[in-house]
């Protein structure tokens, strides 16, 4: 069955520290991959997406993600976290852009 | 950029009431819209796919008579929770794809917090 796994439910980092959020997928073929961010009580904002091509994808707000086929992973990174980055982060996958399957999310907490 | 507007943002009502939630694509035409449900501290679960001018496609386990979806135009889809009960309380989020562009990701509304007393 198709699935997306985010192993870390909750991550806490200090402001200015680097960040990596993990995402693994299980699909028959390489899916489209996405990272979304959700602030409390809000909808989802797209950070970045991978369809094909360069495996290192740049997104908004200084985020990037790297697609690794051999590891079925699409981890999200940021070199220096800001307090405003505190939110819930969702990894998602789809065969096309229609039926998204979401991971369970990672809650990021940032300490000053 | 593509904007999806969802209304209302919050609803509190009595058990047995039917509640309608609107999802509009403000600056683009959306052939397909999607309705998700999110329980507290959980991920989004797709409820149904709404196609303009045709019946919605519901995911397994979602009651189509309970969650009525109408997609009457290329910019509007509505979700009606009929005879809502406390267990229907949740965060409902819609999203939309840019029409004719299979390479565009879904754009999400800000969600509707539904609380049934």
Assess whether pLDDT exceeds 80 at residue B101. no
CA-nearest of B61, B40, B98 to B48 is B61
The residues in B 18-57 lying below 8 A from A, measured between CB atoms, are 32, 34, 42-46, 49
Assess whether pLDDT exceeds 90 at residue B97. no
Testing the interface with B: which of A44, A49, A89, A107 to mutate, by most B Cβ within 10 A? A44
How far is residue A55's CA from residue A74's CA, in Å, rounded to a whole number?
A: 9
Which tokens belong to B67?
């969650």
Rg of chain A over Cα atoms, rounded to whole angstroms, equals 13
Query: In this structure, what are the phi and psi dihedrals at residue B4, rounded to the nearest 5 degrees?
Result: -115, 125
Report chain B's mean pLDDT, rounded to a whole number: 89
Average pLDDT over residues A32-45: 89
Q: Do the Cβ atoms of B24 and B75 come closer than 8 Å? A: yes
Residue-wise pLDDT for A61-100, tens only, equals 999 999 999 999 999 999 999 999 999 999 999 887 678 8
Could you give the angle at the alpha carbon of B82 between the alpha carbons of B80 and B83, nearest 5°? 150
Strand pairing of A73-78 and A64-68?
Answer: antiparallel
What's the gap in Å between the CA of B60 and the closest CA on chain A? 13
Strand, helix or coil for residue A38: strand
How far is residue B21's CA from residue B33's CA, in Å, rounded to a whole number?
A: 13
Grade residue A41 by pLDDT with cuts at 50, 70 and 90: confident
How far is residue A70's CA from residue B8's CA, in Å, rounded to a whole number?
A: 44
Residue-wise pLDDT for B23-35, tens only, equals 998 888 888 899 9
**Residue B105 DSSP one-character state:** P
């Amino acid at each position: 069955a198709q699935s997306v796994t985010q192993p870390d439910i909750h991550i806490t980092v200090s402001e200015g520290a680097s960040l990596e959020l993990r995402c693994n997928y299980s699909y028959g073929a390489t899916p489209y991959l996405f990272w979304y961010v959700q602030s409390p009580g809000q909808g989802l904002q797209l950070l970045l997406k991978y369809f094909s091509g360069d495996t290192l994808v740049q997104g908004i707000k200084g985020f990037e993600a790297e697609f690794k086929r051999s590891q079925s992973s699409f981890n999200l990174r940021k070199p220096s976290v800001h307090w405003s980055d505190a939110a819930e982060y969702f990894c998602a996958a789809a065969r096309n852009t229609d039926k998204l399957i979401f991971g369970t999310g990672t809650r990021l907490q940032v300490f000053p | 950029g593509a904007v999806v507007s969802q209304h209302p943002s919050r609803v509190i009502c009595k058990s047995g009431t039917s509640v309608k939630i609107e999802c509009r694509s403000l600056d683009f035409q959306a052939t397909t819209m999607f309705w998700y449900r999110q329980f507290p501290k959980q991920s989004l679960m797709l409820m149904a796919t709404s196609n303009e001018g045709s019946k919605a496609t519901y995911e397994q386990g979602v009651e189509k008579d309970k969650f009525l979806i109408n997609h009457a135009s290329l910019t509007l889809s509505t979700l009606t929770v009929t005879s809502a009960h406390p267990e229907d309380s949740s965060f409902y989020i819609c999203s939309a794809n840019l029409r004719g562009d299979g390479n565009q990701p879904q754009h999400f509304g800000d969600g509707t917090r539904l609380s049934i007393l």
